[in-house]
Amino acid sequence: MPRFYFPIIDGTKLEDPVGVELPNTDGARQHAENIARHLLHLGKDRNVLAIGEDGEEVHHVPVKKVEPG
């Protein structure tokens, strides 16, 4: 099973040195979307990437802070 990595960028890049084994790029996209959903409550703009074993980006999720009101 291929391994995908999910670095988070918020001005600096927080690397994901371990990654997750997932069946395919669709699984990696879903995983990146789930990570992004969990980051929404932190109130800061970020980006979650899904990177394949070959180093190629397979998905990019912008996370925008939610303004109250």
**Structural domain contains residue 56:** no
**Structural domain contains residue 31:** yes
**Structural domain contains residue 42:** yes
pLDDT top residue among 15 and 43: 15
User: Structural domain of residue 25, as residue ranges?
Assistant: 3-49
Q: What is the pLDDT of residues 2-35, one digit of tens each?
A: 999 999 999 899 999 999 999 999 999 999 999 9
- pTM summary value: 0.89
In the sheet that 46-51 helps form, which strands lie side by side, from edge to edge?
A: 13-14, 8-9, 46-51, 57-63
Give the number of domains in the chain.
1
CA dihedral 19, 20, 24, 30 (to 10 degrees): -100
**Structural domain contains residue 60:** no
Phi, psi of 49 (to 5 degrees): -110, 150
